[in-house]
Structure 1
Amino acid sequence: MIVTTVSLPDFAVLECNSRGREYLCIRHPLVNARISLTGAHLVSCRPAGQADLLWFSEADDELPDTALRGGIPICWPWFGNDRPDALAHGIARTARWELLSVESFPDHVRVIMGLSEELIATALPDESWVVQVAFELGQMLKVSLKSRNVGTAVQPLSQALHTYLPVRDIDQVELVGLSGVKFFDKLTNEERQESNERLSIRGELDRIYHGYNGPVTLTCAGMPDRTIDREGSSSLVVWNPGPKKSSVLSQFPADGYRRMICVEAANAGPDRRLLAPGETHILTTTIMA
């Protein structure tokens, strides 16, 4: 039995999978969803009458205390290898988050989770943070990651909501809205500018688009268009591993690259932040189909 101090409504239940990983499961007329308590990791969000808004790897064993492949991993308080001597993507993906509240509203279910101050103090002894994530689950999906510097010195922050989106066939995918936007190509270490009105995915892609805070639209033949909007972010990560890297990634089917693309609200590259004592920053992604 999973112990929590939060009183759960009838539509929410805490469950363990066969390997002992713990989840909050939402079964509501508006939406079904599943969130791992490790990582505050949203694995699935299926609005009523819609397909799942997220892709999750069928090759992931979902073991306890591990980072998961798919859904929305939370990269915090650094993205990628921004701190070269530390674990990639920060501490949040494998940390145990506390469930703070679960509520129902007319058009969505809201779940709020947070990292304990004790956990942060142990993992980041030179930093002081209060961090929470709020999930608004309904016909659209909204995730807001709130970070507050409660220390006495300026603290660096880079982060991402590492969103995996499902597609039928990567060869049929186009991203609309990035024409003219500058980006850093992580595969070539080059700074470039997007020249395509409709960006197609041809092989491995790993880019940080920056200096742009508007929406993008994901299109794929046979699927409804999806709009990805952001707040508190002027950088957007677009990633697909392509066939070669897909074959060697952990917890990832060899042909998985054909059925997913990551479009991530971020504070990465030139969009890294410095938070003054007492300052709060909220990074938000919204997915609408």
Structure 2
Amino acid sequence: MTSVPALPEGISLIHNTAGKAFVQVEHPSVTARIALEGAHLVSCIPSGQADLLWMSPSDPQAPGGVLRGGVPLCWPWFGNTRTGPAHGIARRSLWQLTGAERDEQSVRLKLELPAATQKAALPEASWALSLELRLGASLQMTLTSRNTGQGPQLLSQALHSYLPVAEITKVRVTGLDGATYLDQLTSSHQVQQGDLTIEREVDRIYLQHSQPIQLSDGQRTLEICRSGSASVVLWNPWQDKARKLDNFPADGYRTMLCIEAANAAADARTLQPGEEHTLSCSIRQI
């Protein structure tokens, strides 16, 4: 935080009633909030629209805990593919706001995960990691990893976006027809036939896929576009698992669907020393 000498008008550092630190954005085109713990975007509301993100109403958003909703950053591993906390260290670490700009259309923020923080959590690894956000009529997220070590390093990751829907059983997801996916509930590979509707628990990694995806719920349509990603994760816990999740209402599964730009499963990347990889995602109402 101290690396930013002055913040533009409409960008401030605040604490909620629980004491958690956030970057608050108030701009004519957008209102947004980002937790410094995890560089976790919890809200992005373009002017005249509903929030582009879903956040659990039962999450106290207290310091020291991971948040349920918004956009958790899964890095440098996705899921439980390595020893350590689920989905890696990025969403559990304190980031620094290192850049903030605004113009008439949008706000741009840059956050970095300090090298010392990484070294304390992953002493065998060496990365430079930054997140850039462009907030306006649409949401654009860019997560950049550079291998600063002496040897190759494996990277799997996701921008774990929770998206709001009016009613999950009325949802239709287009843009996945013909794509092969790994069904993580059955450990089997399947091929998507037509549009996706949600009638039960879903936990899938679609592979070799990079096309835009549209999420419609009968009231609005969101478009999700990705780059640096050949895998996309779709997740809804459904009724039974929802009851077991921390800070998640029993009926929360009815109003959310995760569509996550990822480098997961076979799409994990090995970066050589000095090599950089950028994972990007944009979300907009169409």
TM tier, shorter chain? Answer: over 0.9
1:10 paired residue number: 9
Which is further off, 12-21 or 157-166?
12-21
Separation (CA, whole Å) in 1 of partners of 2:247 and 2:235:
16
Q: How does 1:234-245 map to 2 (within 5 A)?
A: 234-245=230-241
CA distance in 1, matches of 2:227, 2:129: 17
Contact 2:27 2:106 in 1 (8 A): no
Shift of 1:30: 1.2
- For residues 49-86 of structure 1, give each alpha carbon's deviation from its aligned partner in whole angstroms, at most 9, with x where no partner exists: 11100000001011102110000000000000110x21
Q: Secondary structure of 1:107's partner?
A: coil
Give the residue type in structure 1 aligned to 2:46: P
- Give 1:202's aligned residue: 199
Distance 1:13 1:108 in 2: 15
Residue 189 of structure 2: which of 170, 175, 191 is its match? 191
Tell me the distance in 2 between the aligned counterparts of 1:19 and 1:51. 25
Instruction: Report deviation, 1:88.
Output: 0.6
Q: Deviations over 1:180-239 (max 9, x none)?
A: 1000001011111111x21000110000000011111101112x2111000000000000
Unaligned 5+ residue runs, structure 1? Answer: none
**2 CA distance for matches of 1:116 and 1:265?**
24
Which residue, 211, 214, 225 being the options, matches 1:214?
211
1-side partners of 2:221 and 2:229: how far apart?
22
Aligned-residue offset at 1:43: 0.2
Moved over 4 A (4+): none
2:145 maps to which residue?
147
CA distance in 2, matches of 1:94, 1:121: 14
Separation in 2 of the partners of 1:144 and 1:206? 24
Q: Hey, what's the Cα distance between the residues in 1 that align with 2:208 and 2:104?
A: 36
How far 1:107 moved relative to its partner?
2.1
Answer whether contact 2:175 2:214 (CA < 8 A) is retained.
yes
Determine whether 1:173 maps to 2:171: yes
Counterpart in 2 of 1:122? Answer: 120
TM norm structure 2: 0.98
Q: Let me know the Cα RMSD of the aligned residues.
A: 0.8
How many angstroms apart in 1 are the aligned matches of 2:16 and 2:222? 30
Q: Which amino acid aligns with 2:154?
A: P
Number of residue pairs matched by the alignment: 284
Which one-letter code corresponds to 1:259 in the other structure? T
Structure 2 unaligned regions, length at least 5 = none
What is the identity percentage for the equivalent residue pairs of Structure 1 and Structure 2? 46
**TM-score, reference length from structure 1:** 0.97
Q: How does 1:197-276 map to 2 (within 5 A)?
A: 197-222=194-219, 224-276=220-272
CA distance in 2, matches of 1:4, 1:73: 24
Structure 2 SS opposite 1:67: coil
CA distance in 1 between counterparts of 2:106 and 2:27 reads 9
Partner of 2:44: 45
C-alpha separation between the residues in 2 aligned to 1:202 and 1:116?
A: 42
From 253, 259, 279, the counterpart of 1:283 = 279
SS of the residue corresponding to residue 72 of structure 1 reads coil
